[in-house]
C-alpha cells in the first residue's frame, strides 16, 4: 500500500521539480562567482528531483502489482469526501463573493452552510450561530481592530 502512494507522490514531485528547474534555467543561472536569480531554484529543483527519484526507485522495487493504484481505505469514506469537498468549495466561494456581498452577509451564509450542511444542526442553532458569528466577528475585526473589511450592498 505504502509503495503505491510513494510512487504517485514521488512522480508528482518530479514534475514539480521539473517545472521549477526549467524556470530556473530561464531566469539565468549566472556563474559560480556571480550566481544568477535562477541559481538557487535550479539547485533546489535538482535536489528535489534526485530525492523523488530515489523514493520512486525504492518504491518500485517493492511493488508487485502496478495495476492497483490505491486501496479504497486510503481515501476516506464517501461521506467524508463529500464533507471535505463541500468545505473546500465553500472556502473558495467565500473568497469569490466576499467583495460582492460584503463581510457580514458572506460570513453569515458561510457559517449557515457549514452548520447546516456539513454536520446538520437544528435550524435555531444554525440561524443563531451564523448570525452571532457574523456579528461578533464584524465587531471584533472591523470595529475594534479596524481591519477595513469589504462592504456589501447593505452598507456593511
Partner 1 sequence: MDILQQLSFGFTVALDPINLLLCFIGVLFGTLVGVLPGLGPAASISLLLPITFKIDPVGAIIMLSGIYYGAMYGGSTTSILVNVPGEAASVVTTFDGYQMARQGRAGPALGIAAFGSFIAGTLSIVGLMLLAPPLVRIALKFGPPEYFSLMVLGILMVIFLTSGSIIKALMTATFGFLLSSVGQDIFTSKLRYTLGIFELSDGIGVVPVVMGLFGIAEVMINLETKLKTQDIYKEKISGLLPTLQDWIVSKWAIARGSIIGFFLGILPGGGALIASFVSYAIEKKVSKHPERFGKGAIEGVAGPESANNAACGGAFIPLLTLGIPANAVMAILLGALMIHNIIPGPFLMAKHPDLFWGVICSMYIGNGMLLILNLPLIPLWVQVLKVPYPILFPLILLICLVGVYTLNNSMVEMIIMILFGIIGYLLKKFEYEAAPLILALVLGNMLEPSLRRSLIMSNGSFTIFFTRPISLAFMIITAILLISPLILKAMGKRRMVVANDD
Q: Which residues bind partner 1 (CB under 8 A)?
A: 2, 5-6, 8-9, 13, 16, 20, 23, 27-28, 31-41, 44-45, 47-48, 51-52, 54-55, 58, 74-77, 79-80, 83-84, 87-88, 91-92, 94-95, 98-99, 103, 107, 110-111, 114-115, 118-119, 121, 129, 133, 137, 141, 145-149
Least spacing, CB of residue 155 vs partner 1, in Å: 18
Least spacing, CB of residue 114 vs partner 1, in Å: 4
Least spacing, CB of residue 118 vs partner 1, in Å: 7
- β-sheet bridge partners, residue 35: 30
Instruction: For partner 1, give the closer residue by CB, 61 or 148.
Output: 148
Least spacing, CB of residue 61 vs partner 1, in Å: 14
Quick one: which H or E segment has residue 89?
A: helix 78-101
Least spacing, CB of residue 144 vs partner 1, in Å: 9
* Contact present, 55 and 64 (Cβ < 8 Å): no
Q: Using alpha carbons only, what angle is made at residue 78 by residues 73 and 81, rounded to the nearest 5 degrees? A: 90
* Contact present, 75 and 65 (Cβ < 8 Å): no
3-state DSSP assignment of residue 154: coil
Instruction: For partner 1, give the closer residue by CB, 47 or 66.
Output: 47
- β-sheet bridge partners, residue 150: none
SS (H, E, C) 59-77: HHHHCCCCCCCCCCCCCCC
Instruction: For partner 1, give the closer residue by CB, 30 or 66.
Output: 30
DSSP 33: T
Instruction: For partner 1, give the closer residue by CB, 66 or 84.
Output: 84
Amino acid at each position: 500500500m505504502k509503495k503505491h502512494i510513494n510512487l504517485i507522490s514521488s512522480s508528482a514531485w518530479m514534475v514539480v521539480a521539473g517545472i521549477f528547474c526549467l524556470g530556473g534555467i530561464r531566469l539565468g543561472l549566472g556563474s559560480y562567482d556571480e550566481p544568477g536569480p535562477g541559481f538557487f531554484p535550479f539547485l533546489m529543483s535538482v535536489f528535489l528531483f534526485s530525492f523523488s527519484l530515489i523514493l520512486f526507485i525504492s518504491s518500485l522495487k517493492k511493488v508487485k502489482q502496478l495495476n492497483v493504484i490505491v486501496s479504497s481505505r486510503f481515501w476516506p469514506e464517501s461521506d467524508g469526501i463529500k464533507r471535505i469537498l463541500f468545505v473546500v468549495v465553500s472556502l473558495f466561494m467565500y473568497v469569490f463573493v466576499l467583495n460582492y456581498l460584503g463581510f457580514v452577509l458572506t460570513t453569515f451564509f458561510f457559517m449557515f452552510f457549514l452548520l447546516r450542511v456539513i454536520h446538520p444542526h437544528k435550524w435555531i442553532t444554525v440561524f443563531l450561530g451564523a448570525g452571532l458569528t457574523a456579528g461578533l466577528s464584524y465587531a471584533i475585526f472591523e470595529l475594534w481592530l479596524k481591519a477595513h473589511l469589504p462592504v456589501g450592498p447593505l452598507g456593511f
